[in-house]
Amino acid sequence: QNKMASGYGAHGGRGRCFPFWDEFSACLRQASGNPSVQCAVLKEDYFECLHHTKTNSRLAQIDAEYQRRSAAGTLDPKVKELLTKDFPKGIAA
């Protein structure tokens, strides 16, 4: 049976990804056909919660476009103001 390490987060209580694991493992238990196909979306959500691969990739794309527009001088000043206020170290930092 698939088990998560403990279900507890780093600071006690439930881990941030436990709800995703719980849903994924329930799908694996109830799958009637091929669980790797039936539960693929839930597995993807669980792994995204753990590793943030898609989120980090998207932030890197946004940062690259920001850098490109900044260098070309085509960045809207309001966008620059908002992004530098919210992301002082850069978007993908």
* pLDDT in the model for residue 61: 93
Tokens of 35: 């669980």
Q: Ramachandran region of residue 15, left (φ > 0), alpha (ψ -120 to 50) or beta?
A: beta
pLDDT 10s digits, 47-90: 999 999 999 999 899 889 988 998 999 999 898 888 888 877 77
Contacts of 6 (CB under 8 A, 6+ apart): 15
Query: Does residue 22 have a pLDDT over 80?
Result: yes
Length in residues, the chain: 93
Select the more confidently predicted residue: 8 or 33.
33
CA separation for the pair 54, 65 (Å, rounded): 17
pLDDT 10s digits, 45-56: 999 999 999 999
Model pTM? 0.73
